[in-house]
Amino acid sequence: MKLNINGQIIDKHAVWWDEEINKVKLIDQTKIPFVVEILTCNTYRDTADAIKNMNIRGAPAIGAAAAYGFVQAIWEFWGDKDYESKLKYAYKTLLAARPTAIDLKNGLDYIQSFFPIDPENALKKAKRLADEIAAEGKKIGQIGKELIHDEMNILTHCHTGALALVDFGSAIAPIIAAWEDGKQFHVYVDETRPRIQGRMTAWELYQYKINHTVICDSVSGYLMSKGKIDMVILGADRVVQNGDIANKIGTYNIAVLAKHHQVPFYTAFPKSTYDPRTKSGKDIKIETRSNEEITHVIGYSSEEKRLTRIELYGSGSKFYNPAFDVTPADLITGYITPYGILTSSQELKTFFQPRTE
């Protein structure tokens, strides 16, 4: 993706390995859209913290970051007498950073599948994984754009752009591809509380001058009731055997509303998001995050010219903050993948085979 950083245009993935200093670098998503900054992760522990703290987010991008983090651990402990035990600990540390998105585990397991492997070859594998995820995002865009027509109103939820998929994006990829083909339509962007990832979606759509309007999460049902939504496209953090998906909290609400109003509901994702080991959405562990994501918000003070943290609630209340929910397969119209638009769990099993050499 092309980014303007202090007046300099650079073309970078959301996460990458800096060859000059042998460190992991990533675009700090907690600062978008106010500031574009590059975060350097010196060790696998730093990379794990970046994943946990959502400096990098979006399931596929997390998977690539985890793979790079594992390479950092291999590099750090290569030749150590306790090499195996320290690598196991590094694996557990990275895996625990975000428990719901399967891409993280898939990224770690991909590198681990080549053990024993030296640091340089491990790095080659991690780079290959990141490049494949980005390439799959591009394919998703080309395949999914056929669903989009002139005068459509499209609803999306959370953020599924280039920042979330190493490059190109998942659910946003078809939108951008259709726009670049000259199609004229409008995108409604859910704000997506509590992390407000909708502002990143709006920021990316603005880069392409795509018509869009940001709405509060609770507005989508009203728009559907008025016939103002023609299609829903969003991403996924895990897709399991029976076709159920885990995605950002609020996805299930939208799916139920879309079903009631007969609005097509699509989810877009790359290979790294498919989980063949989990049978149904009931078996997915849902991450619960800090109450502070609800009680506080980070915004930009135009007066002070800096990011600032604001408290929204007084003391005395209890809070509950699940980061994801599960949408059952019977609410999903289709799955936009690098292999085509699939419509059943059997098709998912057929196309999504484990990564190999």
Question: CA-CA distance, 58 to 15, in Å (whole number)?
Answer: 11
For residue 164, CA distances in Å to 14, 137, 177, 236, 242 come to 7, 10, 17, 11, 24
Q: Please give the distance of CA 317 from its chain centroid, rounded to a whole number.
A: 31
CA pair distance 182, 238, nearest whole angstrom: 32
Reported in sequence order, the residue ranges of 218-333 that DSSP labels E, i.e. its strands, are 231-234, 238-240, 245-248, 265-268, 274-275, 296-301, 306-311, 324-327
**Per-position b or e across 117-130, b if 16+ CB within 10 A of its CB:** bebeebbebbbebb
Which one is catalytic: 109, 190, 230, 237? 237
Assign 13 to helix, strand or coil: coil
Structure tokens at 54: 């959502």
- Nearest partner of 62 among 74, 73, 50, judged by Cα: 50
Q: What are phi and psi of 347, to 5 degrees?
A: -65, -40
Please give the structure tokens belonging to residue 245.
Answer: 């998906």
Closest CA relative to residue 188, chosen from 230, 149, 225, 150: 230
Name 309's bridge partners: 298
18 is a catalytic site residue: no
Give the residue numbers annotated as catalytic, written as ranges.
237
